Amino acid sequence: MYSFKNDYSEGAHPRILNALLETNFEQTEGYGEDYYTLTAIELLKQKIGRNDIDIHLLSGGTQTNLTAIAAFLRPHEAAISANTGHILVHETGAIEATGHKIISIDVSDGKLNCSHLQTALDSHTDEHMVKPKLVYISNPTEIGTIYSKDELEQISLFCRENQLFLFMDGARLGSALSSAENDLELSNLAKLVDAFYIGGTKNGALLGEALVICCDPLKEDFRFHMKQKGALLAKGRLLGIQFVELFRDNLYFDLAKHSNVMAGLLRNEISKAGFRFLVNSPSNQLFPIFPNGLIKELQKNYSFIIWSKLDADNSAVRLVTSWATKEEAVLAFIKDMKNALSLETR
């Protein structure tokens, strides 16, 4: 049984484990003030190409989202999110638990645009309603689509003109930036958004997200917020060492590219076999629409999520590749798919 259920099934890239081993008995400062965390932050600043940003290492996506959004907003201010947004659907009300409403916008492709944002502003007119203040986007989105540079520039401009903070959830940012269709770079992000994070958990780390705060007013006292939300690890070195390893050369993007290449293999062969996709997702998540019989057959050897039922006979499934996905597993999946199809047609 091979799993395409998600991109956090395996441990960490071996270089990371080796680095943990090698540094294991060095005594370091606690709570993210250690040499490795400071080095990781320096490396990230270099990759991003800016020094006037603040970077903090946190453990996971939900933790990063809730800590950041709670820190950035005043009590009456709300976040705007696509209806598929992770904070809206899959975080057990973590943002609301910090006191903030999320304004949901119905979209078909997981992405927000200026027209959506204008609608949200237009429908929030006075003090009887929350005040929209932060725009939450994910890149890639929860359904694998990505933002182009042009799209992001438009949103960014809109946000600045309307005093909205722009926050990008980058739990799978590596996959977005390594996508064949991508034209964004880390350095663009730091100019276009007010804060974003670079996800490690889903791209080779045991755990870890690097939050980048680009906007000065959002920087103040951020470590207080981390501590208050339980997000300051005593052994901060654990995060620091991992990000050093991921960013001291190009490992982070190499891993993301591998993930995308594996997804590309699947995408091509599934397309060739005549199947459509729920959405065009040029990153490491695919949503092919399969006949239920084929799904049953594939489930014998592969685990994956059934995303949605389309009609009585067909369903969309989610296939996720990762830095650790083995090419032979992908090839086997393709072969099994083809075999199942040829059996069916006989």
8 Å CB contact between 64 and 196: no
Q: Which of these ranges, 48-56, 89-97, 148-156, 180-188, lies near a second copy under the rule CB under 8 A?
A: 89-97
Residue of 283, 279, 251, 277 whose CA lies nearest to 264:
283
Contact with a second copy (CB under 8 A) among 41, 177, 214, 232: 232
8 Å CB contact between 294 and 270: no
- How many positions of this chain bind a second copy (CB under 8 A)? 76
Helix, strand, coil percentages (3-state) for the chain, rounded to 5, are 40, 20, 40
Burial label, 46 (beta-carbon count in 10 A; 0-12, 13-18, 19+): exposed
Phi, psi angles (nearest 5°) of residue 34: -85, 165
Helix (H) or strand (E) holding 305: strand 305-309
Q: Which of these ranges, 128-136, 149-157, 174-182, 292-300, lies near a second copy under the rule CB under 8 A?
A: 128-136
Q: Per CB under 8 A, does 9 bind a second copy?
A: yes
Q: Per CB under 8 A, does 98 bind a second copy?
A: yes
Residue 316 CA: distances (Å) to CA of 58, 163, 172, 295: 33, 39, 21, 9
Q: In the complex, what is the shortest distance from the CB of residue 180 to a second copy, in angstroms, rounded to a whole number?
A: 26
Q: Which residues contact 164 (CB under 8 A, 6 or more apart)?
A: 80, 117, 132, 133, 134, 135, 158
Contact with a second copy (CB under 8 A) among 51, 52, 92, 311: 92
For a second copy, the closer of residues 41 and 190 by Cβ is: 41
Count other C-beta atoms under 10 Å from residue 4's C-beta. Answer: 26
Q: What residues numbered 172-211 form the site for a second copy, per CB under 8 A? A: 201-202, 206-207
Q: In the complex, what is the shortest distance from the CB of residue 72 to a second copy, in angstroms, rounded to a whole number?
A: 10
Q: In the complex, what is the shortest distance from the CB of residue 81 to a second copy, in angstroms, rounded to a whole number?
A: 12
Q: What residues numbered 46-75 form the site for a second copy, per CB under 8 A? A: 59-67, 70-71, 74-75
Q: Per CB under 8 A, does 125 bind a second copy?
A: no
CA distance 232 to 238: 11
Q: Which two tokens stand for residue 277?
A: 């996709």
8 Å CB contact between 140 and 176: yes
Q: In the complex, what is the shortest distance from the CB of residue 35 to a second copy, in angstroms, rounded to a whole number?
A: 12
For a second copy, the closer of residues 63 and 260 by Cβ is: 63
Q: Which of these ranges, 10-18, 173-181, 292-300, 335-343, lies near a second copy under the rule CB under 8 A?
A: 10-18
Q: What residues numbered 283-342 form the site for a second copy, per CB under 8 A? A: 324
Q: Which of these ranges, 37-45, 123-131, 253-261, 272-280, lies near a second copy under the rule CB under 8 A?
A: 123-131
For a second copy, the closer of residues 23 and 113 by Cβ is: 23
Q: In the complex, what is the shortest distance from the CB of residue 194 to a second copy, in angstroms, rounded to a whole number?
A: 16
Q: In the complex, what is the shortest distance from the CB of residue 30 to a second copy, in angstroms, rounded to a whole number?
A: 5
Alpha-carbon Rg of the chain, whole angstroms?
21
